[in-house]
Homo-oligomer: A and B are copies of this chain.
């Protein structure tokens, strides 16, 4: 399948937690890194240079796919995976929201000791 919509839906916002959860694994991050040039690769190719079995890699790829971070397409006898920038950008946008709302470190230190206000 070329894609489940894990993306944005009009007005409200989808829960980004599953995206971050998918990113929260060393193996999956390194898979995403390999795919970070935009090219698609087969499972076999993605399984080289790793200690894990092909099945393990497959599972990780499916997790990434479930989160919308990669898309897969079967061509011939192989399954090719490619990174999906949209979802990565969605995660970035979320981090922007939680990061962009306050100013300097000094102000933060103050708030530790100030009354609960």
Contacts and interface: CB of A to CB of B under 8 A. Distances in A.
A41 B89 CA distance: 30
Interface residues of A, number: 51
A51 interface: no
A108 to B, nearest CB: 5
Interface in A69-107: 73, 75, 80, 82-83, 85, 88-89, 91-92, 94-99, 101-103, 105, 107
* Copies of this protein, total: 2
Interface of A is mostly: helix
Contact of A75 (B37, B101, B112): B112
Given A24-B22, A108-B82, A29 B42 contact: no
